[in-house]
C-alpha cells in the first residue's frame, strides 16, 4: 500500500461507544483466568475473552465471526469482526431497525494495514444502558495487545492513529444501542457471511424474527443497488438516519434504508430516494444546489461531497481517502437516471373540498 494510503488509514474511526465514569462490577463469567476484574474494559486484549489461547491466537468458540454485506469504508484497512452473544437472552428485535442487545454482548473488530494486525477494538455491554470499549494496539511482533487511547503508533515507518473514544461518538450515537454493522439489513443482504440474519433467526437469537431473513435492493437499469447499499452503510446508519439521533438530522437528508422498506416497498418510495432525487438543498450555503440531479452526476451536490476530502466531505469523519468504488457506484446510478427512470411516487391527490352542509329544516312558524 502507498504511504499516502497508510497515512489516511490513520483516520479510520469506526468503532466506539459512550463511556461512563460510573463503576460497574463485571459478571463472574466475564473475568478471564489470570486477569484482574475491572469496572471497565480490561487493559489487555487477552482478558476480553476473544481468545481461548492467546499465545496461539486460537479464538474462543464463543467469538462468532460475521461480515456485513457492505462494509463501512475505512480507507482500505482490512477488517475481521467477531461477536459473543449471551445464551438464553435474545436480541430485542421489536424494531428491526433498532436492535437492543442483551447485557453481556461483546464485539471485536480487527484492523490490518498491509497485512499487519495493528489494532483490535472491543465493545462490551455491561449494563442495559452502558457499554465499555477500548482499542488495543498490537506489539510489532504480535505477542501482545494493550489498551491505548488517542495514540500514534509506527506501522512500517508510518504513523497510525488510534482514536480517542471522544472522536467516535458522533457516528455511534446514531444507533439507540450503539452497534453499527450488526443490523438486519447489513446481515440480511446477499454477501453477508458468518452470523447472518438467517443464522440468528435459526438459532432463536431474535426476539421477534422477521417474516423474511433474506432481503435485497431490487436493481434496475440504473444499477441503483450498489449505490443505495453504500449510502445506507456509510451515511445512513449513523448520521443521516432520519431520526433525532443522527448528527445530520436537521438537514432533512435521509440515507438510511428501513427494513420494512427493503422488505415490502418499491425503492422509488424509500426515504433514501425521495429525500435526494430532485430535492433542493435546504442550507443557504448551498443555495440553488440539488442533492441529486437525475442523469447529471456533476450537478449533484451529494456526489461532489462524496468525492472530496476536507471540511465538507462525506462521510465527515473516519476517512481521509475517497472510496473510489463507492463513489463510482453512486455516480453510475445518478448518470443512468432519467426523470422517467426515477419513477417517483405520484403526488397525493388534492383533498376533496368539504361537502356543503345539508340545508337546515324549515323553522316551526306555528
The 10s digit of each residue's pLDDT in 193-212 is 999 999 999 999 999 999 99
pLDDT of residue 319: 78
pLDDT greater than 90 at residue 48 = yes
Q: Give the model confidence (pLDDT) of 271-285 as tens digits.
A: 999 999 999 998 888
pLDDT greater than 70 at residue 347 = no
| C-alpha span between 68 and 184 (Å, rounded) | 10
pLDDT of residue 43: 93
**What angle, rounded to 10 degrees, do the helices at 324-336 and 224-231 form?**
130
Q: What sign does the CA torsion over 227, 316, 322, 1 have?
A: negative
**What integer is the mean pLDDT of 70-93?**
94
pLDDT of residue 335: 95
pLDDT greater than 80 at residue 364 = no
pLDDT of residue 186: 96
**Average of per-residue pLDDT values in the chain:** 82
137 φ/ψ angles, rounded to the nearest 5 degrees: -95, 130
| C-alpha span between 204 and 103 (Å, rounded) | 17
Q: Give the model confidence (pLDDT) of 94-139 as tens digits.
A: 999 999 999 999 999 999 988 899 999 999 999 999 998 888 999 9
Can you name the residues that pair with 66 across neighbouring β-strands? 81, 194
| C-alpha span between 168 and 172 (Å, rounded) | 7
In this prediction, residue 37 has a pLDDT band, given cuts at 50, 70 and 90, of low
Task: Count the Cβ atoms, other than its own, within 10 Å of residue 207.
Answer: 14
pLDDT greater than 50 at residue 4 = no
In this prediction, residue 149 has a pLDDT band, given cuts at 50, 70 and 90, of confident
**Cα angle 83-88-91, degrees, rounded to a multiple of 5:** 55
Grid cell at residue 109: 473488530
**What integer is the mean pLDDT of 319-323?**
85
In this prediction, residue 33 has a pLDDT band, given cuts at 50, 70 and 90, of low
Q: Are 326 and 230 in contact (CB under 8 A)?
A: yes
| C-alpha span between 10 and 6 (Å, rounded) | 7
The larger pLDDT score, comparing residue 87 to residue 317, is at: 87
Q: Give the model confidence (pLDDT) of 229-258 as tens digits.
A: 999 999 888 787 776 666 776 788 889 999
- Structure pTM? 0.81
**What's the length of the chain?**
366
Least Cα distance to 335 among 303, 288, 289 occurs for: 303
**What integer is the mean pLDDT of 18-34?**
47
pLDDT of residue 354: 43
pLDDT of residue 168: 67
pLDDT greater than 90 at residue 216 = yes
Amino acid at each position: 500500500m502507498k504511504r499516502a494510503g497508510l497515512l489516511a488509514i490513520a483516520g479510520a474511526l469506526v468503532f466506539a461507544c459512550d463511556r461512563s465514569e460510573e463503576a460497574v462490577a463485571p459478571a463472574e463469567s466475564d473475568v478471564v483466568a489470570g486477569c484482574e476484574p475491572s469496572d471497565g474494559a480490561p487493559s489487555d486484549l487477552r482478558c476480553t475473552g476473544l481468545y481461548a489461547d492467546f499465545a496461539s491466537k486460537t479464538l474462543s468458540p464463543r467469538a462468532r465471526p460475521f461480515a456485513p454485506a457492505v462494509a463501512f469504508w475505512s480507507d482500505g484497512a482490512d477488517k475481521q469482526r467477531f461477536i459473543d452473544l449471551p445464551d438464553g437472552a435474545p436480541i430485542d428485535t421489536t424494531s428491526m431497525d433498532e436492535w437492543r442487545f442483551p447485557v453481556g454482548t461483546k464485539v471485536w473488530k480487527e484492523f490490518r494495514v498491509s497485512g499487519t494486525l495493528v489494532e483490535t477494538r472491543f465493545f462490551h455491554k455491561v449494563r442495559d444502558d452502558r457499554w465499555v470499549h477500548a482499542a488495543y494496539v498490537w506489539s510489532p511482533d504480535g505477542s501482545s495487545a494493550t489498551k491505548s487511547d488517542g495514540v500514534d503508533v509506527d506501522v512500517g515507518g508510518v504513523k497510525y492513529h488510534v482514536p480517542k473514544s471522544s472522536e467516535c461518538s458522533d457516528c455511534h450515537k446514531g444507533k439507540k444501542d450503539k452497534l453499527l454493522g450488526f443490523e438486519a439489513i447489513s446481515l440480511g443482504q446477499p454477501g453477508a457471511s458468518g452470523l447472518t440474519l438467517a443464522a440468528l433467526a435459526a438459532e432463536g437469537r431474535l426476539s421477534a424474527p422477521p417474516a423474511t431473513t433474506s432481503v435485497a435492493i431490487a436493481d434496475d437499469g440504473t444499477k441503483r443497488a450498489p449505490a443505495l447499499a453504500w449510502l445506507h452503510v456509510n451515511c445512513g446508519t449513523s448520521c443521516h438516519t432520519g431520526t433525532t439521533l443522527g448528527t445530520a438530522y436537521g438537514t432533512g437528508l435521509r440515507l438510511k434504508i428501513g427494513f420494512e422498506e427493503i422488505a415490502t416497498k418499491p425503492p422509488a418510495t424509500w426515504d433514501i430516494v425521495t429525500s435526494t432525487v430532485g430535492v433542493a438543498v435546504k442550507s443557504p450555503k448551498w443555495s440553488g444546489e440539488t442533492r441529486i440531479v437525475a442523469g447529471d452526476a456533476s450537478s449533484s451536490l451529494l456526489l461532489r461531497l462524496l468525492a472530496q476530502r476536507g471540511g465538507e466531505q462525506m462521510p465527515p469523519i473516519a476517512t481521509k481517502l475517497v472510496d473510489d468504488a463507492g463513489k463510482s457506484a453512486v455516480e453510475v446510478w445518478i448518470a443512468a437516471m432519467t426523470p422517467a427512470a426515477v419513477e417517483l411516487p405520484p403526488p397525493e391527490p388534492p383533498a376533496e373540498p368539504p361537502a356543503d352542509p345539508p340545508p337546515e329544516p324549515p323553522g316551526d312558524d306555528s
